[in-house]
Structure 1
Amino acid sequence: MNVNRSNIQIKANPKRVIINFLDLGINTNNVKRAKRLIDSILSIPENELNALYEEIKKNFEFRHRDFEHYIKLNFKNIQSELPNNVEISELRSLVLGAYFSKEYSIQSAALFNPSMVAHPNQKGLKEGEKRFVLSLRAVGEGHISSIEFRSGIVNKDGKITLDEETRFSSCSDKDLSKIYSKKNILKNTAVLVDFDQSIMSAFEESFTYDDYLDKVKDNEFSSFDDVTQAELFHILDTNYDVVTDGNAPICERVIFPNALGESMGMEDVRFVAFTDNGKTEYIGTYTAYDGHKISPQLLLTEDFIHFKVRSMYGAAVSDKGMALFPEKINGKYVMIGRQGGENITIMYSEDLFIWEDYEAIMTPKATWSYVQLGNCGSPVKTNEGWLVITHAVGPLRKYVLGAILLDLNNPSKIIKRLNKPLLTPNEEEREGYVPNVVYSCGSMAHQGNLILPYAMSDSASTFATINIEELLKEMDIYESKSEIRHVV
């Protein structure tokens, strides 16, 4: 079996910057610094503002596709702190917005852990070609993870060509007009033991985040316990919509954390093209991290322009590395996971957002997987079964990739297993930010080949191409757990 490595390397580029809000204590009890800055800018004579703003644009505008759009957004974030009855010119508002903005280098630390799906637009291709979308985890200042994209074409022979990357990056905009459904929140929170659902009686059937904030200001939730209040905030905070610039190439679109529950990162998104009743939606699972705890989240889109961020609920929603099957099986959604941090698990649900039970289907028994096992993205459907690329961790935290095959109708059953690593870091790949690692968040089948994007020691990403038929032939009939303990 040949594993054909590509010579493509997608590396981090610290020049890729976005404009973020510079938070100096707005909407907190420590707003003194922000107010001092506002007062300083308000004191600038009007006839001096133009020269100041032109100097700002000279230094920064050329680095962004729509500089003033983000400056204006950041001005809106501080409007509530302006002195009452003070009218300011548009020019002064732009200067204020610029002082409350900062450039953020989204790839300054790393760019890695890719997943791959077919692009929603397959027009204008030659016979045997497929256009794809590649998602990547970008890590910047403060080790905050965001989601980026690349696109390209794979031809009938498995040759990969990436689309040209532009020099701009643009952060997605949070849709502040999102409407929440009380009915949906009650349905989802029914599985939360410590959540007092009667708190929802304060809301109409449909409401906005501003409606919630108004009720907080009026102390309408003060009679409810702290756990319920915190959970309600978490739900509204981590369920939101964003829109990216649809006129910009996909390589410029950045999804940066928009919620406190993911303030330290949106990690390792695993996208899959999920098809149900003839309709395809791209659904990603990712790990939200707030600096203290993690929580699995969903990211849904039909066009890679508009995205919905949604929470999952239930006892099975824990740990990292969940990956959704590309279709329902026996009328249920199916997810592969890694609850407990060591084993490969599987779970079933009639509701995409509620997962109550899971079972372990594979535990670490080979010497190269003694530390832990996990998946490397959503299963790929073949004629023989569901092909799952796995990762395994062995001595000195060495990550390798493996493969298992699940029954098409009963994916809780492993029918085949590759009894040696599929991919292990070579001498070049083992050096990087986190050494001795190869890792993937999702691959794609094309023309009989598995197109496998993977990260090299958390420092860059590349591709491998493997013939699926050869891979399946290389796999052995799965033996009982006790029989594979010493397989290396």
Structure 2
Amino acid sequence: MHKRSDTSRQIEIILSQSTFLNRQALFLRPDPSRVVVRPFKPATEPRDLNPTDKTRANHIVDRVLALDLQTAESMLADILENFEGRHRNLLATFECRAEDMEDAFTPHTEFTKVQRQLVGAYFLHEYSFEASALFNPSIVAHPDQSGVSPGSRRFILSLRAVGEGHVSSLTFRTGLIKADGSVEIEPTARLASTPKIQTPRSVTGDEPVKLSFSAQQHISERVIFPITPAQSNGIEDARFVAFEDSGQTKFYATYTAYSGKAIRSELLETDDFISFRMTPLRGSAARNKGMGLFPRKVDAQYAMIGRQDNENLYLIYSDDLYTWDGGQLILSPKFPWEFVQMGNCGSPIELDEGWLLLTHGVGPVRKYAIGAALLDKSDPSKVLARSREPLVRPEPSEREGYVPNVVYTCGAMRHNDQIILPYAVCDTFSNFSTIKIVDLLLTLDG
């Protein structure tokens, strides 16, 4: 049998990729008009401040409480007129913030409800959480499929939102995959809200943090903003997966907590996208970014794909979900488009043929592209095939943005005979592609 040259095989792969990748016209762009209220903290006090001296917070409270009642009421009414339509339950938010300022209230024995609410307003500020970017999406089937027509599926999309100071938070969208494979995104809620933190305020971030939203809030209204010191500069790149165990479905997401100086992997878990639990991961394999959890146990253990050495991909097992040590090297940079480094692009997707693992590779001029590998279903350490050429690479129209020459995803989803692939463009906005599974597998080399 005549053996094709590597060059002819490469040309064939590139030509097939140009026909099977169906890019949708669903551009999810950052919207600076969407804001949440966040605590405002006065600048750090001088280190030589005498403990008996008043702080800046005390001074602000003193000035507010010195206002006569009529002026205070007028100011509060003006604030509500300007901001109430932009947030839910604003007066209650002011009062909650005033509770945080109890130390500043201490010298005062009497104050009115209006004064407390006005003080709360002085220690809050609006934050445009997606002013700069809306990117690195992942997708899972919605837990509620009621009313969806046969052959269609409702989904939840998570996205990394970036605002002032390059602080990352987690936001959501919902949409529908139709029976014909086309994708629709539901309109975004006008308002946005952060959750109620159920963990004590003394939380250090080394223990689980519980948080919840109101079930009446549309999911696109829910924003998970950094809570602990380890997350203070960002909750980055959540990789969601619908995890099946004993007939029950739970949603997990590995993400990167960034303090501004250090990173660590953490786990977000939820049953309903209303209540969440955030837990730091332990172990030598959890010290880097980009961990992707398998959607079910493998050989009675939890399994993860990780990149603890910044360059290669490892298969890691754990008995308790929260501790990840060691790992077996399964994929290293092999082709020119991934020579700099490899990483996973979300949780593996189970197919009849094996585990489909989307990967990213970094090539010359730090150009990011998306590829794939097929792992053995019973033994994922065995690589059956992988992408010689990328599945998705930056198009000429997709090269400009905050970080040029990047396409990236944090997770795709199977729907019937297709892979639904949301992906980010230049760390700025997001789009969708759909890929027929049979065509995708034909591009992989054994």
TM-score of Structure 1 vs Structure 2, range by shorter chain: over 0.9
SS in 1 for 2:398: coil
Q: After TM superposition, give the deviation of residue 474 of structure 1 in Å.
A: 2.3
Q: Answer yes or no: is the 8 Å Cα contact 1:117–1:444 preserved in 2.
A: yes
What is residue 100 of structure 1 aligned with on the other side? 123
Q: After TM superposition, give the deviation of residue 87 of structure 1 in Å.
A: 2.2
What is residue 304 of structure 1 aligned with on the other side? 273
Q: Answer yes or no: is the 8 Å Cα contact 1:25–1:34 preserved in 2.
A: no
SS in 2 for 1:428: helix
Q: After TM superposition, give the deviation of residue 25 of structure 1 in Å.
A: 5.8
What is the 5 A alignment of 1:206-285?
233-236=204-207, 239-285=208-254
- One-letter code of the match for 1:23? K
User: TM-score when scaled to structure 1?
Assistant: 0.84
Candidates 241, 262, 266, aligned match of 1:293: 262
SS in 2 for 1:316: helix
What is residue 81 of structure 1 aligned with on the other side? 104
Displaced runs of 4 or more, over 2 A:
25-31
What is the 5 A alignment of 1:88-487?
88-176=111-199, 233-236=204-207, 239-477=208-446
What is residue 33 of structure 2 aligned with on the other side? 15
Question: Among the aligned pairs, what percent are the same residue?
Answer: 42
What is residue 49 of structure 1 aligned with on the other side? 72
Q: After TM superposition, give the deviation of residue 83 of structure 1 in Å.
A: 2.7
Q: After TM superposition, give the deviation of residue 49 of structure 1 in Å.
A: 1.4
What is residue 4 of structure 1 aligned with on the other side? 22
Say how many residue pairs are matched.
423
What is residue 4 of structure 2 aligned with on the other side? none
What is residue 11 of structure 2 aligned with on the other side? none
Change in 2 beyond 3 A, CA 1:266/1:28:
farther
Q: After TM superposition, give the deviation of residue 362 of structure 1 in Å.
A: 0.9
Residue by residue, what CA displacement relative to the aligned partner does 1:82-127 show, whole Å, maximum 9, x if unpaired? Answer: 1345122111111000000000000111110000000010000111
CA distance in 2, matches of 1:456, 1:157: 25
Change in 2 beyond 3 A, CA 1:412/1:27:
farther
- One-letter code of the match for 1:60? F
SS in 1 for 2:400: coil
- One-letter code of the match for 2:285? A
- One-letter code of the match for 2:215? G
What is residue 227 of structure 1 aligned with on the other side? none
CA distance in 2, matches of 1:420, 1:283: 30
- One-letter code of the match for 1:5? R
CA distance in 2, matches of 1:80, 1:117: 44
What is residue 203 of structure 1 aligned with on the other side? none
Structure 2 unaligned segments of length 5 or more: list them. 1-15
User: TM-score when scaled to structure 2?
Assistant: 0.92
Q: Answer yes or no: is the 8 Å Cα contact 1:170–1:245 preserved in 2.
A: no
SS in 1 for 2:365: helix
Residue by residue, what CA displacement relative to the aligned partner does 1:42-77 show, whole Å, maximum 9, x if unpaired? Answer: 101112211110111111111113322322221111
Change in 2 beyond 3 A, CA 1:34/1:98:
same
Residue by residue, what CA displacement relative to the aligned partner does 1:14-55 show, whole Å, maximum 9, x if unpaired? Answer: 111000000126999677111110110110111221111011
SS in 2 for 1:266: strand
Residue by residue, what CA displacement relative to the aligned partner does 1:431-479 show, whole Å, maximum 9, x if unpaired? Answer: 11100000000000001100000000011101000001221122121xx
CA distance in 1, matches of 2:140, 2:45: 40
Q: Answer yes or no: is the 8 Å Cα contact 1:433–1:458 preserved in 2.
A: yes
- One-letter code of the match for 1:311? P
SS in 1 for 2:36: strand
Residue by residue, what CA displacement relative to the aligned partner does 1:386-428 show, whole Å, maximum 9, x if unpaired? Answer: 0011100000110000010001011111111121110001011
The answer to which of 23-32 and 411-420 deviates more is 23-32
CA distance in 2, matches of 1:28, 1:71: 27
Residue by residue, what CA displacement relative to the aligned partner does 1:343-388 show, whole Å, maximum 9, x if unpaired? Answer: 1111001110011211221111211111100010000000000001
CA distance in 2, matches of 1:28, 1:115: 44
CA distance in 1, matches of 2:158, 2:422: 10
Q: Answer yes or no: is the 8 Å Cα contact 2:45–2:55 preserved in 1.
A: no
Structure 1 unaligned segments of length 5 or more: list them. 178-208, 213-232, 478-488
SS in 2 for 1:48: helix
CA distance in 2, matches of 1:69, 1:110: 30
CA distance in 1, matches of 2:413, 2:199: 35
- One-letter code of the match for 1:307? F
CA distance in 2, matches of 1:366, 1:80: 60
- One-letter code of the match for 1:6? Q
The answer to which of 355-364 and 445-454 deviates more is 355-364
- One-letter code of the match for 2:161? A
The answer to which of 137-146 and 242-251 deviates more is 242-251
What is residue 205 of structure 1 aligned with on the other side? none
- One-letter code of the match for 2:149? K
- One-letter code of the match for 1:411? P
